Amino acid sequence: MTKNPFWALLSLVSLPVFALVPPDYHEPQNNLRAEVEAGFQLNTGNTDSTSFNGRTKLVYDAAKTKQEGTVKAYYAADDQGTTNERYDLEMQSNYKLSRGYILASGNFTWDKFGSYTNRYTFVSGYGFDIVSTGRTKLSIEVGPGYRYSMPQETDDEPNPEADREPILRTKAKFEQLIHEYTTFNADLSTEIGATNNTVILDLNYKNTLFQDWAFKVGFKMEYNQNVGEGSEQTDTITTFNLLYTFQ
């Protein structure tokens, strides 16, 4: 019987393909994930305006280590000029243990209109998971650190001195997968020092629109127990962003 030349050619092509790509081949795991978001913001407290914000986050999660880096930028202006200008840089490195992880982190804030114009915090410590399921995650971190804070200039103190002090930081991280396309996150951290105590609450709700695009609503509250004259103790930022995930 004469063979169809098309099937003969297909057989010759298929043999090297199966030799190079075995049937049980799987793509290598991608440990790097990136998020980019931008959108609208509403500020209350020491600033009262509406404008835009942006955020970029990189996460590299390997077998024994996890690296995270986040950059945030907030800018607002009205007819009188700039009303809000703030930049945040957050970095953390975790070394995984059989139970929990050892961490080292650094947070840097430059805030032109905040109660503190410059704040740098360095922390080391230990973290562990209280709950870790497919839908719910809750972890706790605790450790000592060092904080540098430059207060805002005031009429009574036009040349303030920076506060330099050791601190104790505790942080709780909560993540809830509501359903396949919706996630709720809540981070609560406290910094206890000799001259100032700080509480930071960061909430966000993310809903996937299609593929790698999502709509995200965020709320951040920062409370400082001791602030200069004319500054409010509590600052809040509410954001409405469009987010894209690379992974």
How do the domains of the chain map onto residue ranges? 34-246
The mean per-residue pLDDT over the stretch 84-96 comes to 95
* pLDDT category of residue 26 using cuts at 50, 70 and 90: low
CA distance readout (Å), 245 to 37, 65, 195, 210 = 9, 21, 40, 11
Mean pLDDT of the chain: 87
Look at 130 and 45; give whichever has higher pLDDT. 130
pLDDT confidence of residue 50:
72
CA distance readout (Å), 235 to 46, 202, 220 = 6, 12, 8
Q: What angle do CA 220, 224, 229 make, to 5 degrees?
A: 120
* pLDDT category of residue 18 using cuts at 50, 70 and 90: very low
Residue percentage of the chain with pLDDT more than 70: 86
pTM of structure:
0.81
* pLDDT category of residue 30 using cuts at 50, 70 and 90: confident
pLDDT digits (tens, 9 = 90+) for 37-72: 999 767 677 766 678 899 999 999 999 999 999 999
Sign of CA dihedral 101, 143, 111, 46: positive
Sign of CA dihedral 200, 206, 212, 213: negative
pLDDT confidence of residue 12:
47
Look at 83 and 216; give whichever has higher pLDDT. 216
pLDDT confidence of residue 29:
64
Q: Which CATH class is domain 34-246?
A: mainly beta
The mean per-residue pLDDT over the stretch 149-170 comes to 88
Look at 122 and 48; give whichever has higher pLDDT. 122
pLDDT above 80: residue 28: no
